[in-house]
Amino acid sequence: MGSAAQPALELDSVSFGYGTGAVLADLSLGLREGEFVSLLGPSGSGKSTVLRLLAGLEIPQRGHIRHRGKPVTGPGIDRGVVFQDYSLFPWMTLTENVVLAIGKAHPQLDRKQRRELAEEYLELVGLADAHGKYPQELSGGMCQRGAIARALAMGAPVLLMDEPFGALDPVNRTRLQDLLLEVWNSSRPARTIVFVTHDVDEAILLADRVVVLGACPGRIIADLDVPIPRPRPRRQTYLLPEFQDLRKAVTEYLQGDMLQRLSAADTVAEAEGI
């Protein structure tokens, strides 16, 4: 998938479920080193589960997950995670949160160096003035900036983001998308990013590749490259025919999946005499 080289991050015919219900059925997906992939899908399509599997927070019932060829058996500091909210511990200041992560990723640094590095990353995400604040003193957007700073400070080559901007207002959302792209563009070697979202525009604007998941059980129904060169200034990009075509295609896939499920539900209902 994607390239002939060995994928950096890979799900190999993975199945996963809670109890008897299957969340993911025989799902395979490979990411190149430095690739930015959006995972898009309706709720119940298991897109967050894919992310949790990649993070090592869940173990698949069947199949394998590999990072740079090595099997993923649990969480590791080589894969940074940003959750939708609550990525920060409420009883620690922003700096303390980031310092805690740095301490795990760079144990050779002393206390002062960890602090300096943390403040550097907070400055990078535009939180220079807020480093002594506690998460509940900050807005949702600032907390997510902090969470991104924490993930970046860990220096992980893989960034797994689970609807990180889903709870933000449109203005903050736009700003943080720009920030994420800026950070991703400026770091060498580029980080591999898996970005879970249910916003089609966001998925296309950010990613090299959009993977669309269908629901019940979760499976890949489309895997589309985004043929738009970077940088992608928002206003011009939205008007590009490539963007609009892709948007239409993705939306159709999502609707198709939904209609299929609705008709399946009807059939079940009829069979049960409802």
Partner 1 sequence: MSQVRVSGLASLAFADLPASASRPAQTTRRLTARLSGKEGWCLLVGLLLLWQLVAWVVPARNRFLFPSPLLTAQALWASLFELGKGTLSSFIILIPGYAAAVVAGVVLGILAGTTRWLERLTVPFTRVVAPVPPTVYVPYAIALLPGFRSAAIAVVFIGAFWPIFVNATAGAASVPQRLRDNARVLGLGKAEYLRRVVFPSSLTHIFSGMSVGLAMSFIMLTVAELFGANAGLGRFVQFYADFADYPRMVAGILFTGAVTFVCMRALDRVRRRALFWQR
122 within 8 A of 149, measured Cβ to Cβ? yes
Confirm or reject binding of residue 136 to partner 1 (CB under 8 A). Answer: yes
Q: How far is the CB of 162 from partner 1 (least distance, A)?
A: 10
Confirm or reject binding of residue 79 to partner 1 (CB under 8 A). Answer: yes
Residue identified by tokens 């019932």 is: 61
Confirm or reject binding of residue 87 to partner 1 (CB under 8 A). Answer: yes
Q: Which is nearer to partner 1, 26 or 85 (CB)?
A: 85
Q: Which is nearer to partner 1, 80 or 214 (CB)?
A: 80
Any idea what the Cα angle at residue 242 is, between residues 238 and 243, rounded to 5°? 30
**Segment 152-181, which members bind partner 1 (CB under 8 A)?**
154
Q: How would you write 200-245 as a 3-class SS string?
A: HHHHHHHCCEEEEEECCCEEEEEEEECCCCCCCCHHHHHHCHHHHH
Q: What is the CB neighbour count within 10 angstroms for residue 234?
A: 12
Confirm or reject binding of residue 83 to partner 1 (CB under 8 A). Answer: yes
Helix or strand or coil: residue 119?
helix
User: How far is 149 from 146, CA to CA, in rounded Å?
Assistant: 5
Q: Which is nearer to partner 1, 38 or 87 (CB)?
A: 87
Confirm or reject binding of residue 134 to partner 1 (CB under 8 A). Answer: yes
In the list 27, 55, 205, 250, the residue contacting partner 1 (rule: CB under 8 A) is 55
Sites of contact with partner 1 (CB under 8 A):
52, 55-57, 74-77, 79-81, 83, 86-87, 89-92, 100-101, 104-105, 134-136, 154
